[in-house]
Structure 1
C-alpha cells in the first residue's frame, strides 16, 4: 500500500470488479481508487506514474468486459459528489464525468432543454459516453459537446474544444486518460414534446433490444453502411451459445449472459462471431465493447 500512503481512505486492494459491471463478470482489481476531489485524483495520477502503475478508468461498466484474471494496476472510479455535479447556465450545461447519462437525459427533458433526448435508453456515465461518442439511430452525444476538461497521466488539467475536438462514429480524438467534465450546448425546447420523443425511442428499444437481460449493449460497431446485427443474424448465429454466454435471439449484436457465465465464455463467443462474419461476408467486425 506504500504507493498510496496517506490515501488509504480512498484506496481498496483486491476489489471484486464483477460488482461494478453490467455483465457482472470479471476478476479483481489490484487497487480500486475512489478520489473525493480533483486534487486527490491528481495525487493518485502522479503516484501511479511514478510507480509505473497502469491506470484504468471505470464508468458505469455498462460497456465493459473485465477478464476473469482481473486487472493489474489502479482502477479509478469517479463517483464522489465532486465528480457527479451538473451546472446549468441558460442553455449551457457542464456535466461531470460521473454523472448518470440516463438521469441527465430526463433532467434536461424536465427543464425543457433539448439535445440529449436522442440518447434515451443508453446507460453509462458522461465520461464513458463522451469517450466512445455514445449514440444510436437518433444521434450521438458529440453533437452537443462543445468542449471537455481533461487530466493527463501527469495530473495536469487542460481543455480541448471544437474544432480541435473531433467526434466520429463511436470515437473521439481524446488521448488523455481522464475526462473530468464536458460542456454541452443544448436548445430550449418544449418539455412535453421532448418527453414524447423519449417515450418513442424507449418503446422502439424495448421492442428491439434485450433490455431485461444481463448484457453490455452492442458488442460490435456497425461497419460503414452495414448493420453488425444483421450480418450476425444472416450468418445464422442468433441463439449461439458458449458456456453461459449467448448471442441474443432478439438482437444479434447483443450478447446475453446467464448464471455461471465466465468472461472467457464471452470472449470465445466474440471470436466465433467475428470469424464467421469474416468468413461469410469478408467483413471484419470491430469491437464496441471494451475489454480489460
Structure 2
C-alpha cells in the first residue's frame, strides 16, 4: 500500500539524493517529498507519523553527507516558493526555512540592515542555519533570532521564543521539529559599511577555504578553545586521501570530494582524521556535518 498514493505530484519513491547535496554523493531516499504548502507538509508529516516513517528535512544540502546506500524513511525538501518567502517590516525580518542565506545577506545590505552579514559565504537556507546556529569568526545567526515557528511530528504548528530558545555553539535547543520560519531583529546601518564587512568576509573565505571544490563546509566542530582545522593540520593530515576523498590542502577542516569519490570514502576519512587527532592531541573531534543513513 502506498501511503502517499494521492500525493503523486509531490512524492517520489527511491529518488536518488546525490544531486541535492553539495557533495553530489549519496544513494536514494525511500520517499522524496516536496510539499507546496504548509498544509501539504502537515498532511505528509501526519501520514509519516501514523506509519512510523522517519522524516528528514533538508535545506540546500550544503552541510550534509548521505550514505551510498541512501536514506531510510522520507526526505522532505522545502524548496517551494511558499517556503522561501521573506517579509521585512522595518528592522524586523520573517524568513521562511527555504530562503537562501546568501541572497538574504545581500537583501539586508541593500536595505541597510545589519546582523546577517556575519553569515557571508556560508551556504544553505535559513532553516538549516537556525538549526545549527550557523556562523563563523564574526558571529552567528542566533544573536539576531527572536523566535522560531515549528511543526512537530504530529503536524502541530507552534512557536518558541527567547529566552526559552537557547542558541549555543553550532546548536539550538530545537529537537524533533521542523523549522518553518524564523523572526529576526536586525539593526539599521550604512549599506556601504555593511557591504565592506561582506567583502572582507568574502576575501577571507576565498583566501582560506577551498571554495571551488565539492565540499560540505567545515566537517568538525571546533573543540573548546581550539581550532579543529589547526589540530588536523598539526596531525600532518593536509592532503591526506582515502579513495576520492581528501583533506583540503587549503583548510584542513574541509574534506573535498574528488573524481570517483563515494560517501564511504568520506566516512572512512572522517574516522581516520578523528583517530589521528585523538592520538596526536588527545582531543575527540565531533562532526559538524549531518550524516544521513
TM norm structure 2: 0.99
Provide the residue aligned with 2:220 in structure 1: 220
Determine the C-alpha separation between the residues in 2 that align with 1:78 and 1:200.
31
Q: Is the 8 A contact 1:57 1:177 kept in 2?
A: no
Provide the residue aligned with 1:75 in structure 2: 75
Consecutive unaligned residues of structure 2, counting only runs of 5 or more, are: none
- Please give the secondary structure, in 2, of the residue aligned with 1:60: coil
* Residue-by-residue CA offset, 1:120-160 (whole Å, 9 max, x unaligned): 00000100000000000000000010000000000000000
Determine the C-alpha separation between the residues in 1 that align with 2:276 and 2:2.
48
Query: Once the 2 structures are TM-superposed, how far is the Cα of residue 5 of structure 1 from its aligned partner?
Result: 2.5
Consecutive unaligned residues of structure 1, counting only runs of 5 or more, are: none
- Matches of residues 185-204 of structure 1 in structure 2 within 5 Å? 185-204=185-204
TM norm structure 1: 0.99
Q: Is the 8 A contact 1:228 1:285 kept in 2?
A: yes
Provide the residue aligned with 2:283 in structure 1: 283
- Please give the secondary structure, in 2, of the residue aligned with 1:2: coil
Query: Once the 2 structures are TM-superposed, how far is the Cα of residue 177 of structure 1 from its aligned partner?
Result: 2.6
Provide the residue aligned with 1:265 in structure 2: 265
Determine the C-alpha separation between the residues in 2 that align with 1:164 and 1:198.
31
**Residue correspondences, number:** 292
Q: Is the 8 A contact 1:79 1:98 kept in 2?
A: yes
Query: Once the 2 structures are TM-superposed, how far is the Cα of residue 39 of structure 1 from its aligned partner?
Result: 0.5
Provide the residue aligned with 2:245 in structure 1: 245
- Please give the secondary structure, in 2, of the residue aligned with 1:130: helix
Query: Once the 2 structures are TM-superposed, how far is the Cα of residue 2 of structure 1 from its aligned partner?
Result: 2.0
Q: Is the 8 A contact 1:78 1:98 kept in 2?
A: yes
Residues 1:166 and 2:147 are matched in the alignment: no
* Residue-by-residue CA offset, 1:30-49 (whole Å, 9 max, x unaligned): 11000000000000000000
Residues 1:236 and 2:270 are matched in the alignment: no
Query: Once the 2 structures are TM-superposed, how far is the Cα of residue 193 of structure 1 from its aligned partner?
Result: 0.7
- Matches of residues 122-201 of structure 1 in structure 2 within 5 Å? 122-201=122-201
- Please give the secondary structure, in 1, of the residue aligned with 2:231: helix
Query: Once the 2 structures are TM-superposed, how far is the Cα of residue 175 of structure 1 from its aligned partner?
Result: 1.2
Determine the C-alpha separation between the residues in 2 that align with 1:116 and 1:52.
38
User: Cα RMSD between the aligned structures?
Assistant: 0.7
Residues 1:10 and 2:10 are matched in the alignment: yes
Determine the C-alpha separation between the residues in 2 that align with 1:177 and 1:262.
30
Determine the C-alpha separation between the residues in 2 that align with 1:193 and 1:211.
25
